[in-house]
Amino acid sequence: MVAQNIFFGILSAIVVISAVRMVTTRNIVHAALYLVAVLAGLGALYVLLTAEFVATTQVLVYIGAVMVLFLFGIMLTKAPLGNVMEMTGKQWPIAAVVAVLMGGVTIYSLLNHFGSERLVTDGPIYRTADVSDEVFSTYIVPFEAISVLLLAALIGAIVLARKD
């Protein structure tokens, strides 16, 4: 349990520092790379929670696909080397207030709901097969709803991209 706590501390520090650097850095590609560090740190936290499948999906989807597309898009359009001063917009105080409010609401609701509960350290380890069993039985309706949503998004993208 001690080892888990130590690694949780290290990973959380990495995630928090990268997240702060992501919004304060003056270079857009650096910001994207800090976001990669945040997502990788979250993936490592999933491993600490014995959620191996979720952690692997985090790496495949967010780092391997979403962030690569982000960087691809940034570099295809405009990605100057060095610092750019206009990176920070005029509305940043408002954005900071909104971010603090959002964080506060999330922390409050989590503490309110799970405040006194403790994680079971020697509980069952959920295998990939258990995850798929849950997805295709208990959560079948949300799963199918998401599939339809993704299909709609896919068709929408094709309609937007078509020239004729």
Partner 1 sequence: MTTLLALPYWQETGIKLGLALAIIPTTSLILVYLFLFKMMAFMQSRLGPNDTGPYGTLQLIAEAIKFLQKEDIHPAQADRRVFRMAPVVVLASTFLLYVVLPAGPDAVVQNLDTGVFYAMAVSSISVLGILMAGWSSANKYALLGGLRAAGQLIAYELPLILAVMGVVIQAETLNLQGIVEAQATGEIFGFGGIGNPFILTQFLAFLIFMIAAQAELTQTPFDMPVAETELVGGFHIEYTGFRFLLFFMAEFGTAFAFAALASVMFLGGWWIPGFDVDDNILNVLGPGVMLGKILLIAFFIFWVRFTYPRLREDQLQKFAWKVLIPLALVNIVLTGIFKVVF
3-state secondary structure string across 44-113: HHHHHCCCHHHHHHHHHHHHHHHHHHHHHHHHHHCCCCCCCHHHCCCCHHHHHHHHHHHHHHHHHHHHHH
For position 46 contacting partner 1 by CB under 8 A, the verdict is no
Size of the site for partner 1 (CB under 8 A): 26
For position 71 contacting partner 1 by CB under 8 A, the verdict is yes
Candidate ranges 22-30, 91-99, 112-120, 138-146; the one touching partner 1 (CB under 8 A): 22-30
Helices 68-77 and 28-48, axial angle in degrees (round to 10): 180
| Residue selected from 17, 22, 48, 79 as contacting partner 1 according to rule CB under 8 A | 79
Lookup: tokens for 87: 């990176």
- Interface residues toward partner 1, by CB under 8 A: 27, 29-30, 33, 36, 52-53, 56-57, 59-60, 63-65, 67-69, 71-72, 75-76, 79, 81-82, 127-128
